[in-house]
Amino acid sequence: MCEKRLEGKVSIVTGSASGIGRSIAEKFAAEGAKVVISDVNVEGARRTASEIASGAGVETMAVNLNVADSAECDAVVKSVIEKFGKIDILVNNAGITKDGLIIRMTDEDWLKVIDINLKGVFNMTRACARDMLRKKSGRVINIASVVGLMGNAGQANYSASKGGVIALTKTCAREFASRGVLVNAIAPGFIKTAMTAALSDEMKTKLAQQIPLGRLGEPEDVASAAAFLASEDSSYITGHVISVNGGMYM
């Protein structure tokens, strides 16, 4: 690789024990950043953190974090600042699905998804904002979804949470712009992860037919966009949503 774009930066990637989050963490580490791996699966977080540390030769830290709990978020951010001295990049990636048609969706399934996917983004952004605003630099990258833009039958809770993340991204971008803190979102389409592995082969084939590029995305496709948004290459971009979806929604 040529020049490392994130040398010396400190990043937190939520929900990064596996899937898209892990891929983003790996990419950031390869670009020279220190990475904090947070997940509710703390064993997985520890494994990912140690593999990335030995693979990329950067400092990593694994933390047990449920982003829906604001006190936990504040405590994690404090411990990261104690260890690494600052936070440059926050990737709000942690998210879950609890799919079902609206007429069958329980209050619990609605709230659980909103709490993690939307309130979690608010919690972590608020927790990191003071440090970023104070030093007048920082990047927040929120992982939204194509369904937050186009809707999807069976995903009332998930699509609403992701649509909310997009609106929150724009508000944060406006509030933080005067301090040089840039906030953007990535809206992935169908990416090959555990979340989409649950779909049947037939469903996947059908989906691929609706994607102009003719295939499901790889986690690395999202990670490349995240690295761009975290780097100096994107210093005049804020409040935007980059779609990484093979053209399935334009």
Partner 1 sequence: MSQDIEAKVKEIIVERLGVDPTEVVPAASFVNDLGADSLDTVELVMAFEEEFGLEIPDDAAGKIQTVGQAIEYIKANKKQ
Closest C-alpha among 15, 16, 244, 229 to residue 146: 244
Query: What is the enclosing helix (H) or strand (E) of 48?
Result: helix 42-56
**Residue with Cβ nearer partner 1 (25 or 73):** 73
Q: What is the DSSP letter of 216?
A: P
Residue pair 218/211 in contact (Cβ under 8 Å)? The answer is no
For partner 1, give the closer residue by CB, 129 or 223.
129
Active site residue 249: no
We find the least distance from the C-beta atom of residue 30 to partner 1, in angstroms, to be 34
Q: Which of 28, 158, 176, 190 is catalytic?
A: 158
Nearer to partner 1, 140 or 187 (CB): 140
Considering only residues 155-184, where is the footprint of partner 1 by CB under 8 A?
175, 178-179
242 bridge partner residues: 186
Pattern 103-132, binding to partner 1, x per CB under 8 A?
Answer: ---------------------------x--
# binding residues, partner 1 (CB under 8 A): 6
7 token code pair: 């040398």
d(CA 71, CA 102): 31
**Using the rule CB under 8 A, is 209 a contact of partner 1?**
no
Cβ atoms of 109 and 157 within 8 Å: the answer is: yes
Interaction site with partner 1 (CB under 8 A): 130, 133-134, 175, 178-179
> Which amino acids are annotated catalytic?
158
